Amino acid sequence: MAQVEIDEAELVSLKNVAGLFAKTLNSKERNSMLQAVKRANPDLPIPEIDARAPIDEAMNGFRDELKATRDELAAERQARKDENDRAKLAQQWNEGRSKAQKQGYVGESLDALEKFMEEKGVADHEVAAAAFEKLHPQQAQPVVNPSGKFDFFGMPNADDKIGKAIVDLRDGKTDENSFLDFSVNEVLREMRGAA
């Protein structure tokens, strides 16, 4: 091999590069240094970089698959949680609805109550019913008293037998035929006693 003369400044520069390269051979920056050399001279065979490339590609594919699987599982978990929350909310809604129906809200009154709930953002039928009744007081229903006239001021007297029969008929505790038999007999008894 022929000897080539080089300038002393170039020799110092080459020694500095060789010293820097020697320092990085056993440090954390070794891989970065080898990659920089490979980028500068792609045809230069560097076994550490060349052998690692297929492994890195496989690992990157594995990482991508793992991330996709994690995302899919998280989405499924969230969907199950959302479905459970919806089912729980539907169950609470139906329970509240049945309580409201037991309180006497049926048909249009139940629809009005639920519309009120949606407008005010109330999810509980009991709470909404209390507020709804306070804002929309129900008018007293006229009650027929035994004389056949409407009583706009109150319920039939509990001591009044016909009034009690009317309440029983209204509440479904007796049927119409039994009510009529009782009422006719009671009125006849009153009429005969008064005559």
pLDDT in tens, 55-98: 888 899 999 999 999 999 999 999 999 999 999 988 988 888 88
* Residue 195 confidence (pLDDT): 47
d(CA 165, CA 2): 132
For residue 8, give both structure tokens.
């002393």
Backbone angles phi, psi at 32, to 5 degrees: -65, -40
Q: Which residues make Cβ contacts (< 8 Å) with residue 132, sequence separation at least 6?
A: 112, 113, 116
User: Where are the extended beta strands (E) located within 42-178?
Assistant: 143-144, 150-151
Least confident of 2-16, 36-50, 54-68, 181-195: 181-195
Its pTM stands at 0.41
Domain boundaries, the chain: 58-135, 143-194
